[in-house]
Structures are given as C-alpha cells and as structure tokens.
Amino acid sequence: MKVVTSIAKMQELSRQTRGAGLCVGFVPTMGFLHEGHLELVRKAKALADVVVVSIFVNPTQFDRRDDFDTYPRDEKTDRALLEREGVDILFEPSAEEVYPEGADTCVNVPRLTHNLCGAHRPGHFDGVATVVSALFNMVRPDLAVFGEKDYQQLQLVRRMTRDLHFPVAIVPGPTVREADGLAMSSRNARLEPGHREQAPIINAALRAAAAAFLEGETGAARLLGIVREKLDSCKAIKLEYLELIDGESLEPVEVADQDSVIAVAAFMGAVRLIDNIIFARATAERRGNGRLDELERQGGDHDATISN
C-alpha cells in the first residue's frame, strides 16, 4: 500500500492509473476504522481496479471544537487494517494543504441540509460538501463509496455530484451492524458500558416500524409512534429528532411508501448516535427470503448498482 500525503502526487497517481485504462475507486474516511468502513472498502475493491482510501479528520465539518479535538484517532491500526484489505493507496493530506491560507470557498446544498442532522449541527454539511468536492478533485475517482448509515450525507453527496457534474459514480454501502443490531460507528467506542448495552434498542425500534409498514401501516404518526414508544422505554436515550422522510428530498412525509426512510438521532450520555431504516431495502429483504431480522443484523444484501 502506497501512503501519499501530497495532493499533487495523488493527482498524478490517479492520472497515471486512469491513463492505463484502470478504474479508480475511492472511500473517503476520517479514520478510526471499523468493520463498516472495511465493508465500503470491499465494495470499492469489487468494483474498481485501484482503491484509494483517504483519512482526513476534516476540521470544517465539526460544529464543536471539543468534538474535533476528541475525535478518536488510531493511525497505526488504520494502516494495518487497510493493508490487510489490499488497499492500493492510503491518502492522508494535511489540513494545511487541503485548506490553503485564505481558503474561502464553501459548497452548500441547502435544501438537503436544512433539516435532520443539518438542523442540529450548524455548518456540518457545508464542511462535508466542501471537503468531499475537494477530495474528488484530489483523488479524481471513477466511483466513490458512501455508507447508508449517514443517510443525509449520502443524499447530499449524490446531489452535489450531479449538480457540479463530477464524473464520479456514487455507490451506496448498506449499514453494517454489531451482532446486537447497533449500527457501527467510530463514536460507539465512547459509549458508557451501560449505554452500550441499551443502544441496540434504536435499531430494534426502527425494525418494529418497518415490520408494521410491511404489514400495511403507512401513517407517519403511527409508524413514528412505534419507534418513539420503544425509545421512551429507555431512560438513557435523549431523542434529538425522529422523522419519516422521503428518501430523495429528505422532506417529511405523512404517508409512507417504498421511497420512505425513518431517520433518527439520539444522545446517550454525551454520545450522539444516528441510524435509519430504508423501507425499500426492508421490503426487498422481506421479499428476498422473509428473514428481515437476520438480514438487518448482517447489514442486508447489497445494492450493487452504481448510481448518481
């Protein structure tokens, strides 16, 4: 695995790779890698000839300085994991190079970022959109893989890629879960042991709502009521938002259909957790073999299409 820190060097390697007729796959990360990231890497490897993973803890997407300062980092383990996955290039640019003195450009996708996480983390998605577009210009990939766990981020990246005409196919990677259903996240390591034990209730509550949808319930109030009732039974969970939304516009809907998603954010102590359930995926899984529970636990079968 080549480790590259210079942007010019990264651009040159990408130019050579593409010049040789090979496809460049890209997985952007902020490090502290877990199985969820590694699944995205595996997906990129299955689709591309050369895989680039970036590790860059992007300061502009943290709305709180202390969150940036305490964001978990483990460079040595990350490198070993990526080597083991057969990643070709690890790209670790410095903040000074990514944001040169006087950098003043901001990419903003307002309609997709005014609600959900965007309403609670001012500036967060401007930071994400800006750094992802900068990373696309540095890595120049043919395809890039983003996890469905950060559903709002995935949608904004799709929209930004389309609107700014980046020649990059955006590939979604299904959420990877712990054996008890908790969505994998770098933040899980910060949960107090008692909270860690209770946290899977978030996924269980979402699955209960999806099961009701699959049985014919479509009313937003009733579906969200199912989730809320379960979460309310856990005193440690402080709900930030819970919404039934259209999967593309991210606007709330009153009546659920195949395009709907339930998205949730909640605090357990100081740790903020997000999760979601995509009704189209739940339906496909139910049709596939009727074992929604099992598939949800495993992260589901993958949507292998390249779409942007």
Is the Cβ of residue 51 or residue 227 nearer to ligand PAF in the bound state?
51
Minimum CB distance to ligand PAF smaller for 17 or for 29: 29
28: contact with ligand PAF by CB under 6 A: yes
Q: In whole angstroms, how far apart are CA 181 and each of 7, 199, 206, 230, 278?
A: 38, 9, 11, 15, 15
Q: Which one of 27-35, 104-112, 196-204, 224-232 is the stretch in contact with ligand PAF (CB under 6 A)?
A: 27-35
Strands 143-147 and 237-246: unpaired
Segment contacting ligand PAF by CB under 6 A, of 28-36, 42-50, 92-100, 285-293: 28-36
Beta-carbon count within 10 A of 222 CB: 13
Taking CA atoms, 308 is separated from 68, 151, 162, 302, 304, in Å, by: 30, 14, 7, 16, 13
Instruction: State the minimum distance, in angstroms, from the CB of residue 18 to ligand PAF.
Output: 22
Counting residues that bind ligand PAF (by CB under 6 A) gives 10
| Type of residue found at 262 | I
Residue in this structure with the two tokens 């009701």, named with its chain if needed: 212
> What residue type is assigned to position 74 of the chain?
D
130 interacts with ligand PAF by CB under 6 A = no
- Is residue 50 a contact point for ligand PAF (CB under 6 A)? no
Q: Does the protein bind ligand PAF through residue 30 (CB under 6 A)?
A: yes
Considering only 14, 17, 61, 155, the residue that binds ligand PAF (CB under 6 A) is: 61
Considering Cα of 26, then 30, then 33, then 34, what sign does the dihedral take?
A: negative
How many Å separate Cα 75 from the centre of its chain? 20
Is 91 or 213 the residue whose CB approaches ligand PAF more closely? 91
Q: Which is nearer to ligand PAF, 166 or 213 (CB)?
A: 166
> Residues 14, 29, 161, 185: which binds ligand PAF (CB under 6 A)?
29
* Residue 243, φ and ψ in degrees, nearest 5: -140, 145
* Catalytic position from the list 34, 37, 114, 195: 37
Smallest gap from Cβ 305 to ligand PAF, in A, equals 20
Residue 181 binds to ligand PAF (criterion: CB under 6 A): no
Task: Report the C-alpha dihedral over residues 2, 29, 191, 150, rounded to 10 degrees.
Answer: -150
**How many H-runs (helices) and E-runs (strands) does the chain carry?**
14, 9
DSSP 225-258: HHHHHHHHT-TTEEEEEEEEEETTT--B-SB--T
Cα 200 to Cα 178, 187, 196, 204, 279, distances in angstroms: 9, 14, 8, 6, 19
7 is an interface residue for ligand PAF by CB under 6 A: no
Smallest distance from ligand PAF to CB 153, Å = 6
Determine if 131 is a binding residue for ligand PAF (CB under 6 A).
Answer: yes
Is 34 known to be catalytic? Answer: no
Question: Which one of 58, 130, 152, 203 is in contact with ligand PAF (CB under 6 A)?
Answer: 58
Residues with catalytic function: 37
Residues that bind ligand PAF (CB under 6 A): 28-30, 58, 61, 128, 131-132, 150, 153
